[in-house]
Amino acid sequence: MSSKDYLPYYAAGEVVSGFGRGSKSLGCPTANLSEEIVEALPSEFETGIYYGWASLEKTIYKMVMSIGWNPFYKNDKKSMEIHLLHKFEDDFYGKELKVIVLGYIRPELNFSSVDQLIKAINKDIEVADKSLDEATSVKYKEDPFLKS
């Protein structure tokens, strides 16, 4: 089995502090889910970059998500880092975030520079944005899971 066999994948949890580099180093703020949520992923769920829908305080946003070890930063803990395709004024630590993971963009990669990583992140955001406009993805925006 692969990750695709588990899609769509539903997860929800409180936004916790992450590594503190998404906004600062990469210009791409992320909402991190707790270790318990990451550990609940099926063992066959591949690391990589995914897209889907997210709900924060009953407002639904497009999202792109990294699941994995972030080889560029050599993390020792697997993480789920979600970037909502929306500009927020404030952080939302402690708020509940619900996600429906719909598709796989690419495997987790290492990069030789921060600039290469930023370029890949921007491409991932573009792919997620376009993919979520497709009819097969749009229907999930109305999923009761996101609205409850």
Which residues are marked as active site?
81
Residue 97: closest CA among 20, 2, 6, 30: 30
CB 60 within 8 A of CB 142: no
Q: How far apart are CA 66 and CA 79, in angstroms?
A: 8
CA dihedral 22, 27, 29, 35 (to 10 degrees): -20
User: CA of 132: how far to CAs of 62, 66, 105, in Å?
Assistant: 7, 16, 12
